[in-house]
Amino acid sequence: MQQAPIHNPINAARLRALLGERGLEVSLCVFDEIDSTNSEAKRMAVEERSTPALIVAAAQSAGRGRMGRSFYSPADTGVYFSILFDAEQSMETTLSITGAASVAVMRAIRRLCGKQTAIKWVNDLYLNGKKVCGILTEAVSGLTDLPKVILGIGVNLSTEVFPPELSHKAGSLGASALLREALIAEIVRELWPYLQNPTDQSWLEDYRIHSCVIGKEIRWSVGGSAYTGRAVGIDGRGALEVRLSDGSTEYLRTGEISIFTDETDVRV
C-alpha cells in the first residue's frame, strides 16, 4: 500500500510547550519520517546520547511490534514515539513497565478522546474489538554499564485504511490527527511518575479493571507446545494468572496469548 505524502509534520515547539516541565527534562527529537522511533532510540542508547529522550515521528517506514512484527505507521494519522531512559537498579521488569504504559495510554485516550479502550495483556489496547495501540518495551545496553530501557508507543488516531492483512483486526480511535502533540504530552505526563518511581503500583487497579482478558479462555505456546487455560487475574508485577484444567495455576510473564471467542481461537 502506497503511503500518502507527509503534509502535517509534528510541531516540535508546540509539543515541548505542552510537555511543560517535562519538556525541560527530556531531549526531544522530532522526525517527519523515520524507520522506527524504537530503532532510533536504540542507536541513541548505543551512542550514549542524553537521557531521558523522547523520539517522535509523523510516520514510520519500518515501525516495529512484538515478536518481530511490523507496526503500520502511515503519515499524519497516528502517534508514534519512543522514550529512552536509564534503568535504575530498582526498575521493575519490562513486563510491569509495559503494564504501566498501557494504563497511561488508556487514561490519556479517555481524557482527550473520550474513548474507553480495553487492555489486552500484555501490550495492546483495543476499541470495539480492534487494536488501536501497540506498545513495545526493549532493554538495551550502551557503552557504559548502566542499562537503558526503550518504551515505544504507537496509537492509531484517525487511520481509516489499513493493509488487507490488518483490516480485520486493526482500528483507530476516530479522533482528529490534530490531537497528536496533545496526546503524546498527556501520555508522558501520565507515565512520568512511574518512570521516576518504578515501585509505584498505582496503575495495577486500572490495568485489572480494564483488562479484556480476565475471565476468558486463552491459548499460549511455550517451546513449540500449545497450552490452554482460563485467565483469572493479574499479579502485582503484571503477570497473567491462568487456571489450568487440572486446577493448577500458571503465571505468564512473557509471550503472547490468543483468546477463545465463540468457541473459535481468535488471535487478538
The CA-based dihedral angle spanning residues 154, 26, 57, 64, taken in that order and rounded to the nearest 10 degrees: -40
> In terms of residue numbers, what domain contains 141?
12-209
Residues 6+ apart with CB under 8 A from 146: 86, 87
Residue 248 domain-assigned? yes
Strands ordered across the beta sheet of 118-120: 27-31, 53-57, 78-86, 148-156, 130-140, 124-127, 118-120
Q: Does 205 share its domain with 224?
A: no
Q: Does 199 share its domain with 238?
A: no
pLDDT of residue 16: 95
Q: Does 22 share its domain with 141?
A: yes
Q: Does 25 share its domain with 156?
A: yes
pLDDT of residue 231: 96
Q: Does 143 share its domain with 200?
A: yes
With contact defined as beta carbons under 8 Å apart, do 173 and 121 qualify? no
pLDDT of residue 265: 38
Residue 1 domain-assigned? no
Q: Does 139 share its domain with 237?
A: no
Number of domains comprising the chain: 2
How far apart, in whole angstroms, are the C-alpha atoms of residue 85 and residue 113? Answer: 28
Q: Does 161 share its domain with 201?
A: yes
Q: Does 186 share its domain with 242?
A: no
Q: What is the CATH number of the domain that holds 259?
A: 2.30.30.100
For the record, the C-alpha cell of 249 comes out as: 495455576
Q: Does 181 share its domain with 239?
A: no
Residue 4 domain-assigned? no
First to last CA, the chain: 23
Q: What is the CATH number of the domain that holds 30?
A: 3.30.930.10
Helical segments of 86-179, H only = 94-113
Residue 106 domain-assigned? yes
Closest CA to 82 of 99, 65, 107: 65
How far apart, in whole angstroms, are the C-alpha atoms of residue 170 and residue 106? Answer: 17
Residue 62 domain-assigned? yes
Q: Does 27 share its domain with 43?
A: yes
Domain end (from 209, 226, 251): 209
Residue 9 carries which side chain, given as an amino acid letter?
Answer: P
Q: Does 124 share its domain with 197?
A: yes
List per-residue pLDDT tens for the chain, 268 residues long.
444 444 678 999 999 999 998 888 899 999 999 999 999 999 999 888 888 999 999 999 989 877 667 899 999 899 999 999 987 644 456 788 999 999 999 999 999 999 999 999 988 999 999 999 999 999 887 666 678 899 999 999 999 999 999 989 999 999 988 899 999 999 999 999 998 888 888 999 999 999 999 999 999 987 778 889 999 999 988 899 999 999 999 999 887 888 876 433 334 4
pLDDT of residue 68: 66
How far apart, in whole angstroms, are the C-alpha atoms of residue 91 and residue 101? Answer: 14
Residue 119 domain-assigned? yes
Residue 169 domain-assigned? yes
Domain end (from 209, 230, 249): 209
Residue 236 domain-assigned? yes
For the record, the C-alpha cell of 232 comes out as: 483469572
Domain end (from 172, 191, 209): 209
Q: Does 116 share its domain with 228?
A: no
